[in-house]
Amino acid sequence: MKVSKLAANLIGSEIVKIGNEVNDLKAKGAEIANLTIGDLNSNIYPIPALLKEEIQKAYQNNLTNYPPANGLLSLRKEVSKDLKNRWNLDYSPNDILITAGSRPLIYAVYKTIVDEGDKVIYPTPSWNNNHYAYLTSANAVEVKTKPETNFLPTADDLRPHLDGAVLLALCSPLNPTGTMFTREQLSEICELVIAENKKRGADEKPLYLMYDQIYSNLTFGAEHVDPVSLFPEMREYTIYIDGISKCLAATGVRVGWGFGPAHIIDKMKALLTHVGAWAPKPEQEATAKFYENPENVNVFVEDFKGKLEESLKVLHGGVQDLKIKGLSVDSIEPMGALYLTIKLDYIGKTKPDGATIENSSDLVFYLINEAGVALVPFSAFGEDKSEPWFRASVGGLAVDEIKVMLPKLESALNKLK
C-alpha cells in the first residue's frame, strides 16, 4: 500500500530496535543490564515527592481541560524567574513556550526556521538532528567531531559550513556523550555566528542557533555555559530548549520549555497549536507550584545528580580497570547528563561461533546475548557503523547492578579473538 514519500523513507530509531531486542530477551527470563535508553528507572529515581503530590492535587481539582497554547501563565512566570536566578537570563513569560517535553520544541524550531533545501548544520554524534533535518527536507551538513575535543564541534570544524546556513543545532551537556562545551569553545562558536549574521542583508534569513540545554542542571563540577550569557547580541539568534524531563527525573511527566526571540517563539506556538503538543494542564500546574520555591529544585537536583555521578564514576572506573588489564577499551570522564562515552575497539574480531563482528551493531547484539549488557552505538547518533564508540546511560540501573555487570562485559570481550 502506498504512503507518502516522507513516511516511506523515514528511518526508524536504532535505539528502539535495540530496546526491542532487550525486551524480548527479558520476557524470556534473561537478565539484561540495560544501558541503552536515555531514561530513568522511576523506582530507583522517582520524581520529587512534592511534584507528585501537586500533580495528584491538580487532577483532584479537575484541572483537566485545555491549557493555553503557550502554557499556563503561572508556569511561564516561574520559568522566567528560574532562568534569571539560575543563569541570569532575562526572558519574560511571553518569550517562553511550554510543550510536552523538549521534542515538540525541537521539531517546531526546525519547522519555523527551515525551508526545503535550507542548510542546517549539526555535529555528529548528536541526538535526532538527522531525523529532524529529514522531516523538514533540509540540506543537512553533518560535522564529524573527534574524541580529542570530547566529541564537541570546534569553531574551526564549523567555520567552513556557515555560509548560507539558517540553523546550527548544538547541545550541552551533550547527548550522547555527557561532555560539555567550555567557555572558550562556545565563545569561539558564538563569535562565528555573530560575524556570519553581520554579513547578511535585511532580506536574508539569519543563522539561528538552537541550544539544547535540557541537561544543564546535571553537571559534575564543570561549568555550564550558554550563548546569550556569553554574548548578549546572541539573544536575537538563539532558541533554547529546556525543561524538567532530566533534571527532575520526570521523563514521563512531559513538561518542557523553549525560549528565545519573540517572533520565533510566537510562530512555534502557532505551529504547535495544530499539533496539540502542549503539556497536560495538571502537570503544568504542579510544575509551577514546585518551582515557586527554588530550594525545591535545588535540593532535589543536588541529591539526584550526586547519585548519577556516583553511577557514572563506577562505570567509568570499571572501564578504565579493563583498559589497565589490556582490553581494547576506553571511556571519557563524565562531565554531565547521565551518559558515559565508551570505546570498545572490537570491530573485525571473531566471535566464539566463528562469525565476525562486522560493525558496531554486531557488537551491540553480541554483548546483549553473551554478556547481558545493552549499549547504544554512536551510529544511532549519525556516526558510521565502523566507529567503535558507544553510549552507556546509567539512568536505568542501580550502582550495584553496574558493578555486577562489569565482569560479564569483561568475560564477553575476552572471548573475541
Q: What confidence tens digit (pLDDT) does each residue in 205-238 have?
A: 999 999 999 999 999 999 999 999 999 999 999 9
Residue 373 in grid coordinates: 549488557
Q: What confidence tens digit (pLDDT) does each residue in 330-347 have?
A: 999 999 999 999 999 999
Stretch among 26-30, 62-66, 321-325 having the lowest mean pLDDT: 26-30
Spatial contact of 245 and 38, defined as CB atoms under 8 Å apart: no
Give 54-78 as a DSSP string.
HHHHHHHTT--SPPPTT--HHHHHH
Residue 189 in grid coordinates: 562558536
d(CA 258, CA 239): 7
Q: Where are the domains of the chain?
A: 5-45+301-415, 49-299
CA gyration radius, the chain: 22
pLDDT more than 90, % of the chain: 94
Q: What was the pLDDT predicted at 75?
A: 98
- CA of 284: how far to CAs of 80, 81, 271, 281, 301, in Å? 14, 16, 20, 5, 19
Q: What confidence tens digit (pLDDT) does each residue in 130-186 have?
A: 999 999 999 999 999 999 999 999 999 999 999 999 999 999 999 999 999 999 999
The sign of the CA dihedral 229, 184, 316, 15 is: positive
Q: What confidence tens digit (pLDDT) does each residue in 345-355 have?
A: 999 999 999 99
Q: Does the pLDDT value for residue 204 go beyond 90? A: yes
Q: What was the pLDDT predicted at 106?
A: 98
d(CA 230, CA 155): 15
| Nearest residue to 153 (alpha-carbon basis) of 129, 136, 118 | 129
Residue 130 in grid coordinates: 538527522
Return the amino acid letter for 115: D
| Nearest residue to 388 (alpha-carbon basis) of 330, 334, 337, 332 | 330
Q: What confidence tens digit (pLDDT) does each residue in 47-78 have?
A: 999 999 999 999 999 999 999 999 999 999 99
Across the chain, mean pLDDT equals 96
Give 330-378 as a DSSP string.
EEEPP-BTTEEEEEE--TT-B-TTS-B--SHHHHHHHHHHHHSEE-EEG
Backbone φ/ψ region at 359: left (φ over 0), alpha (ψ -120 to 50), beta? beta
Cβ neighbours of residue 133 under 8 Å, at least 6 residues apart?
A: 110, 114, 120, 122, 140
Band (411; pLDDT cuts 50, 70, 90): very high
pLDDT more than 70, % of the chain: 100
Q: What confidence tens digit (pLDDT) does each residue in 87-117 have?
A: 999 999 999 999 999 999 999 999 999 999 9
